[in-house]
Amino acid sequence: MRISTTIFLTDETITPVRLARELEERGFGGLYLPEHTHIPVERTTPYPAGGELPPEYGRTLDPFVALGQAAAVTSRLGLGTGITLVAQHDPIDLAKQIGTLDHLSGGRFTLGIGFGWNKEEAADHGVDWATRRELGRDRMALMRALWAGEPTAYKGEFGAVRASHAYPKPAGGAPRTLIGGAAGPKLFSQIAEYADGWLPIGGRGLTESVPVLRETWEKAGRDPSTLQVVPYAVLPSPGKLAHYAELGVEEVVLQLPPAGEAEVLGVLDEYAQYV
């Protein structure tokens, strides 16, 4: 099983360069980074985990800049977002960022996408909360048109692009794409439609939900062997990882603390038993 990691990298934590080098030297599979452009102070949206919102949410580094640094000092480490809030981006700009990062890293990028929880953050980006999933789907389709091998036009409900020359392209025509979110028919339908798999936070309830996703996947005409389920932000134990393996999981993303170098490297020492 491939063991990857995620962390809220901030201006106060271990640096992307130091962490990426340590991960590759220790044999970890990948580094996934979250995204929040800003956290409005006047916020009515509750923190999904309950309680006060941890301060690192308002201090996150831009994931693409940080992953670019990580790519420059590694050669094997997988690089990903967990997750990119696609609806909050200009899709033409985002397609260029993704194509560039994937090209410069030698095809190591995984695009984890999601639809967010912070209504105020999304609103500042001009996102209508009720249609954010449809907007994300539309923006993914527009980006895929820009990544196509030949100039391809796209016109959707929320955006359009002319047939264009747009290089570099991601390896294979598009990066591996995983969608995050809670289990449900709408999410599973979108995964089966345009993604490579699911990025479930914490990995709870997979015994019940993975068979449902597999059924949706196969009904959409997708090859059953290609579905990827990647439990995300997991606090590991041997029993938990063994259970994931029984479900056919081939990669798990372990949570690192948003801390300084000494603490993060200490946790990597603890996680070394799983690599």
Q: pLDDT digits over 82-94, tens only? A: 999 999 999 999 9
Instruction: Decide if pLDDT at 219 tops 90.
Output: yes
Query: Residue 225 — pLDDT band, cuts 50, 70, 90?
Result: very high
Angle between helices 91-104 and 63-72 (to 10 degrees): 10
Q: Are 4 and 24 in contact (CB under 8 A)?
A: no
For the stretch 32-75, pLDDT in tens is: 999 999 999 999 999 999 999 999 999 999 999 999 999 999 99
User: What pLDDT is stored for residue 203 in this prediction?
Assistant: 85
Residue burial 230-245, b: 16+ Cβ < 10 Å; e: rest = bbbbbebeeebbeebe
Rounded CA-CA distance 207/185 in Å is: 16
CA distance 272 to 252: 14
What does the pLDDT average to over 214-240? Answer: 97
Tokens of 45: 């949206």
CA distance linking residue 123 with residue 177, whole number of Å: 25
- Torsions phi, psi for 227 (to 5 deg): -65, 130
Contact between 86 and 140 (Cβ < 8 Å): yes
Give the position of tokens 């949206």: 45
Residue pLDDT, tens place only, 95-154:
999 999 999 999 999 999 999 999 999 999 999 999 999 999 999 999 999 999 999 999
pLDDT level of residue 215 (50, 70, 90 thresholds): very high
**Which pTM does this prediction carry?**
0.97
- Asked whether 83 and 114 are in contact (CB, 8 A), the reply is yes
Neighbours of 54 (CB within 10 A): 12
3-state DSSP call for residue 227? coil
Rounded Cα distance, 146 and 207, in Å: 37
pLDDT digits (tens, 9 = 90+) for 249-269: 999 999 999 999 999 999 999
pLDDT in tens, 172-203: 999 999 999 999 999 999 999 999 999 999 98
